[in-house]
Chain A
């Protein structure tokens, strides 16, 4: 009888289940994975080094491109670190807007994750449903910032501008008659807040739809229950945060434990799993979407009743109004200095962390008092999660690889930076 040998398989970097550009070197014994070695860095753009060569504000756009499915949360971490260095705080209305958009972003992220996760496991339909709702949320991004994905909306000292009074509307075209367009625009007649309120009223019902497709689905459970179990001890020692940690039963959420923005003023729960398997992580994320809806609702109520500035009135950090610039020499100079040279921070270092949809997203800034960061380090949640990949995969069948990999929720923009 001939000897059976282990063999080595190259998974990715061009594989639809590799979530971008992950290359996994797998050692297999039959269909069982005995060892895996993730090779990352294929999307490395040296964001941190680029940021060192630019004034602080010019790197906000790079933050969107880190984890490109939860754009505003990345921005939030970065502007919080700058604000900490400068010793400033955004006005309360900006804090609520940030809270609301962080949660919109969380839903965006979890919807993409849910769609892709289901698709990887073989449930095609969920993706289509999820992308339907993502469309509305991208419209929210567009309404406030003009960009559907890479918003650069958060600024040190607040947000770029206040919420708009009207939503962008569909226009009749060869493909959509006037009547159809009128129907499509039905929830876009009011202000931005009306639109997002309509969304959060509809959304819990839509989550029920996804759950009907998946939660009690026999095949779904067979593919995810007891797959990729992460024990609480392993989650801690491997630096896991976010849903990976909460899926294992540890109720740790920076929004509750170290509140930032307006999270200490809104009411929400932390969903926690029990077994730490793929199924629990799925449940945690689905429940997080429900909690996000709750938070957004409270933010809408507050924002409707309270007006005020959305960015600091300090022209050394935030630009003056354009109107003022037309008439005042001083505003003109401020504007010029701010956009050509930027602002200098006091020398020192700061670490700011936010509860990103994937876990703890931290930005460590070292400043020597210049108008550029001396060193910026981005702490990406999935980087630590992917590092534990080998431990999670060991002993699983090759078919479970797709389920485990996508249950981590990897996005290579932030892992490779």
Chain B
């Protein structure tokens, strides 16, 4: 049994039904926990000798709104032939996302045991809420601020949840999938008003390379390994 599977079985034994999903793929271990159990699991992961994840590497927000949706039809023949015009959510694919829209993903590292783990949890509601882990790992402070700024995930108990990367007075959460790539406002200096003014964007969104999902038989072995 490899080191990572060993860790996975130890986790399963320790947390039992607190872990809703546990996957070992590409030499990485991912566990999923309920939002309510997050802090308890994190504390145990940090403090218990079997795990001792003293290092929080990263907190990352993910928006699964368009997961598995592509711009082109690639497989089934149609009566009109294949159109090469880009339309959102046109392609069919087997990849479906059945879990929550937002995820908060924690990458942990243990220097004592030299192993890593990925913890994923799905904040619920709108705005999505989840407990903060700042008091467990102080390094979560800015990572959670970033995730709040870009995805609008609220971290309950965070001491200072302000925007961090976007402009002062910015509205919206730019990394959500329904936020346009070109943004919503543009800024210029107005010489007559002698100040910067914000206006709705004047450019159009263009897709240079459409998103396609293709089945590739060469990957079947890899995917099998992931299951």
Where the two chains meet, the residues of A that have a C-beta atom closer than 8 Å to any C-beta of B are 40-41, 44, 46, 48-50, 53-55, 58, 84-85, 87, 236-240, 250, 252, 257-258, 316, 340-342, 344-351, 353, 360, 362, 364, 366, 368-372, 374-375, 377, 379, 383-384, 386-388, 416-417
Contact = CB atoms under 8 A, between A and B. Distances in A.
Contacts of B226: 346, 348
A41 B26 contact: no
Contacts of B25: 348-349
Interface residues of B, number: 52
A371 B208 CA distance: 13
A351 B216 contact: no
Given A50-B181, A238-B138, A360 B57 contact: yes
Nearest to B219: A346
A53 B174 CA distance: 14
Given A360-B57, A383-B142, A237 B137 contact: yes
Query: Which 8 interchain pairs have the tightest Cβ spacing?
Result: A239-B139, A346-B219, A387-B142, A41-B165, A377-B60, A379-B58, A44-B165, A87-B222
A57 to B, nearest CB: 10
Contact of A54 (B118, B166, B209): B209
B93 interface: yes
B62 A366 contact: yes
B164 A40 contact: yes
Given A49-B181, A349-B30, A387-B142, A364 B105 contact: yes
Contact of A55 (B66, B209, B223): B209
A250 B111 contact: yes
Contact of A362 (B57, B68, B164, B216): B57
A49 B118 contact: no
Interface in B24-57: 25-26, 28, 30, 54-57
Given A40-B165, A50-B181, A344-B213, A369 B93 contact: yes
B211 interface: yes
B58 A362 contact: yes
B10 interface: no
Given A348-B26, A362-B57, A364-B105, A48 B175 contact: yes
B73 to A, nearest CB: 14
Given A48-B175, A257-B114, A371 B212 contact: yes
A307 B216 CA distance: 32
Contacts of A85: 26
B137 A53 contact: no
Contact of B139 (A351, A377, A387): A387
B175 A369 contact: no
A351 B54 contact: no
B58 A377 contact: yes
Given A351-B28, A368-B95, A344 B114 contact: no
Contacts of A360: 57
B214 A344 contact: yes
Given A370-B211, A372-B209, A384 B62 contact: no
Contact of A236 (B107, B111, B207, B212): B111
B121 interface: no
A361 B120 CA distance: 20
Interface string B137-155: 1110111000000000000
A379 B107 contact: yes
Contacts of B68: 347, 368-369
Contact of B174 (A49, A372, A379): A49
B209 A379 contact: no
A416 B213 contact: no
B13 interface: no
